Amino acid sequence: MYILVNEGIIPRSSFSVDIEDRGYQFGDGIYEMVKVFEGVLFEWEAHLQRLFRSARELRITISMNKEELTEQVQRLIAIEDLRDGYVYIQVTRGVASRIHHFPEGVSSVLVAYTKEGKEERKEELAGIRVITTEDIRWQRVDIKSLNLLGNVLAKQKAVEAGAQEAVFVRDGMVTECSSSNIFGIKDGVCFTHPANHLILNGITRQVVIRLLEKVSLELEESPMKLEALYGMDEVFITNTGQEVGPVIEIDGRKVGNGDIGVYSRNLSIEFQRLIDSVVPS
């Protein structure tokens, strides 16, 4: 297994993290996870844009430009002979003595690695159970930062409750989930939180929004009250790993009649069609 470290690719066995890397000590960094199908990076441009946006928002300078990073990541995929799996990319502010403010004269550290394996989408096919929990995270979750403790605690709460995902509620309004975005469908209208500072604008969210027209759904980007979420005809979550994940139960209450809805199923089909259209046949 190999790791991309800045512009070099080295064996994992010779890679180490400096104790004073700010990503390690402060969570002072950003990341992306990109799916690979048949060796092709899915929605790469969108992930690249978001990575550079996150960096700009935190005033982290990435040592490569977008073309150079694309080249290096493709080189890593080729070296690993990755067919189906994902690439994880992380950029931290760099290595410096432990001070809170930005250190001077320090270069950022970019690392990336790949993971092979087609995910079995068992849960998505069977339907997902979720719980709701207060959104205790900071107010810049639009930045894909390494600070994920609020997300970790929420997911753990879901797992301990026998559920697969935790839905965040802030001031009575549904924002997103611990590692996914959430949509609700009522009378042919698809609701989701607007892409502002209170959610991560998921790449899968953006793809699904583009696909809504194909399944005859109208988009309404406005926050749902928790009570409204309970009353939706259909609910589904989206993220890079799970794509479209139909929700069948929220806090122990059935969504609709408790089965996967037709719109959610059709969206999954459209999503698969899109994947098929970008991979070489």
Beta carbon nearer to ligand PLP, 54 or 179: 179
Selected range binding ligand PLP among 116-124, 156-164, 177-185, 188-196, rule: CB under 6 A: 177-185
Q: Within positions 210 to 269, which residues make up the interface with ligand PLP, using CB under 6 A?
A: 238-240
Among candidates 80, 75, 35, which has minimal Cα distance to 271? 35
In the 8-state DSSP scheme, what is residue 258? S
Among candidates 103, 160, 97, which has minimal Cα distance to 131? 160
The least distance separating ligand PLP from the CB of residue 158, rounded to whole angstroms, comes to 13
> Beta-carbon neighbour count of residue 243 at 10 Å?
23
221 is written with which tokens? 């980007």
The least distance separating ligand PLP from the CB of residue 90, rounded to whole angstroms, comes to 13
Beta carbon nearer to ligand PLP, 48 or 95: 48
Beta carbon nearer to ligand PLP, 127 or 150: 150
The least distance separating ligand PLP from the CB of residue 238, rounded to whole angstroms, comes to 6
Specify whether the CB–CB gap between 89 and 112 falls below 8 A.
Answer: yes
251: three-class secondary structure by DSSP: coil
The least distance separating ligand PLP from the CB of residue 202, rounded to whole angstroms, comes to 3
Q: Within positions 184 to 213, which residues make up the interface with ligand PLP, using CB under 6 A?
A: 200, 202-205
Element spanning 268, H or E: helix 262-278
Among candidates 22, 40, 43, 21, which has minimal Cα distance to 32? 43
Annotated catalytic residues are 144
Binding residues (CB under 6 A) for ligand PLP: these are 151, 176, 179-181, 200, 202-205, 238-240
